[in-house]
Structure 1
């Protein structure tokens, strides 16, 4: 028989301790504290051996011991360690462990850290499962917790991420509301005021994706009243030029506006995607792409 690894030896000791009967001179709490310590050591040894699923499972057992001792802080840390191990190979289990972590953090009133973990969940849903809806929900929840902890810039980054995802899902009205919410908050600080033109540009593109030129024009007027410098920006002029093209159903005019804007400010993937959606509404019957080989 092959020799047992250090991790396996420690795991067996931890199991034995957790399942042992409580003697005259020890309490159940002490038993689970000691078992928890052994599980933690075993889990770290599994990580050394690059056995990440086993490490995650063992950190989870540590967390359960900590919970039995009413050690909420240590239990939350153990669940987070489990999540970090699971992320390597089992993102679904990482989400479950992070959810447990968040439960402990919110009970302890540590909402800033809960927001960090919720944002992690959003990133896993997005990158590993391509589940835009669940990712969006997590970013909104994280944003709400950051906002209540006065971390406005981090909250806005989460809300903006959620708005982008809402637009990707075709939920343009909700996306516009999110972008406007972020812009409103950004206007309150000299440090973030410069970024509102980007949020309003994205909101304008969402309104164009709804093929609703009336709303586009009304919103652009509203944005101009909130920040009098906005109408003279390249972003505002771009949205207005696109609105004219959509209203005239003029694909050539639309393409010209896109190429001109892109020549100075390179379009990112999100803008390229939504512009193509808008473009298809006024595209030539041939279905050919109207700019830069994009289809």
Structure 2
């Protein structure tokens, strides 16, 4: 019979301690404190053996012991350690553990850290589960918490990620509002001002994708008033040329404009996808002129 690993022995000790009856002279609080310490040791030992599922499970049990002792900070840390272990191949469990962490952090008023963990949840939804809706919601929530903790740049990055996802979900009006907010925040700083034209380009492409050419023209004009250099940028000229092709219902002209722009400024996946969507709309509406 194979001998038990150190992690296994520690886990059994922890289980035994957690399930033991409390004697005359010890409190249930000290029982769970000791069990929590043993679960933590077992979890670290499983991690050392690269058994990440088992490590996550042991950290989760540690977290439950910390909760029973009313040690909220230690419980939050244990859930986070569980999440980090679960991230190695168990995204569902990682999200559950991170959600527990967030609950403890928000109850303790630690919204900055809660935002960090909520952003991790968003990234797991996006990268491991391709769940755009839930990723979007988590980015929004993280952004709001960062904003209320005066972490404006980090909040902006989350709102920009949320805007990208709103657009992918074809919620163009919400995306435009978010891009405008992010651009407005970025205009005020010399460090971030350079990225404004890209946010405005994305907002304008969302207007084109929703076939709202009147709003697109109006926003082009408005952005030019907010930043007098914008009308002379490649981005503004690109949208102007796209608008002309769309208003004429000229698919060939539209394609040429996109190809020319891409030769100088490589289009990323997001822009490529939305431009293909806009192009399909021309194909479906031949009688636009």
TM-score in terms of structure 2 length:
0.96
Q: Which residue of 2 aligns with 1:289?
A: none
Q: Provide, for residues 205-231 of structure 1, a one-character-per-residue CA deviation record: whole Å limited to 9, x for no partner.
A: 000001111110011111111111111
| CA deviation after TM superposition for structure 1 residue 119, in Å | 0.7
Q: Which residue of 2 aligns with 1:63?
A: 63
Q: Provide, for residues 153-182 of structure 1, a one-character-per-residue CA deviation record: whole Å limited to 9, x for no partner.
A: 111111111111111111111111111111
Q: Which residue of 1 aligns with 2:104?
A: 104
Matches within 5 A, 1:193-208: 193-208=193-208
Pairwise CA RMSD: 1.3
Q: Which residue of 1 aligns with 2:49?
A: 49
| CA deviation after TM superposition for structure 1 residue 136, in Å | 0.2
* Structure-1 separation of matches of 2:99 and 2:228: 44
Q: Which residue of 1 aligns with 2:27?
A: 27
Secondary structure at the aligned position of 1:282 is classed as helix
Q: Provide, for residues 16-71 of structure 1, a one-character-per-residue CA deviation record: whole Å limited to 9, x for no partner.
A: 11111222332211111111000000011111122111111110000000011111
| CA deviation after TM superposition for structure 1 residue 143, in Å | 0.7
Q: Which residue of 1 aligns with 2:84?
A: 84
Matches within 5 A, 1:239-258: 239-258=239-258
Q: Which residue of 2 aligns with 1:288?
A: none
| CA deviation after TM superposition for structure 1 residue 102, in Å | 0.4
* Structure-1 separation of matches of 2:190 and 2:87: 38
Q: Which residue of 2 aligns with 1:123?
A: 123
* Structure-2 separation of matches of 1:120 and 1:231: 38
* Structure-2 separation of matches of 1:175 and 1:67: 40
Matches within 5 A, 1:133-282: 133-282=133-282
Secondary structure at the aligned position of 1:134 is classed as helix
Q: Gaps (5+ residues) in structure 1?
A: 286-295
* Structure-2 separation of matches of 1:282 and 1:69: 64
| CA deviation after TM superposition for structure 1 residue 273, in Å | 0.5
- Name which of structure 1's ranges 170-179 and 188-197 shifts more when overlaid on structure 2: 188-197
Q: Provide, for residues 108-149 of structure 1, a one-character-per-residue CA deviation record: whole Å limited to 9, x for no partner.
A: 111111111101111111111111000000000011111111
Q: Which residue of 1 aligns with 2:75?
A: 75
* Structure-2 separation of matches of 1:12 and 1:216: 65
Moved over 4 A (4+): none
Mapped contact 1:251–1:284 kept (Cα < 8 A): no
TM-score in terms of structure 1 length:
0.94
Aligned residues: 285
- Name which of structure 1's ranges 48-57 and 199-208 shifts more when overlaid on structure 2: 48-57
* Structure-1 separation of matches of 2:244 and 2:212: 12
| CA deviation after TM superposition for structure 1 residue 284, in Å | 9.3
- Name which of structure 1's ranges 21-30 and 232-241 shifts more when overlaid on structure 2: 21-30
* Structure-2 separation of matches of 1:275 and 1:66: 52
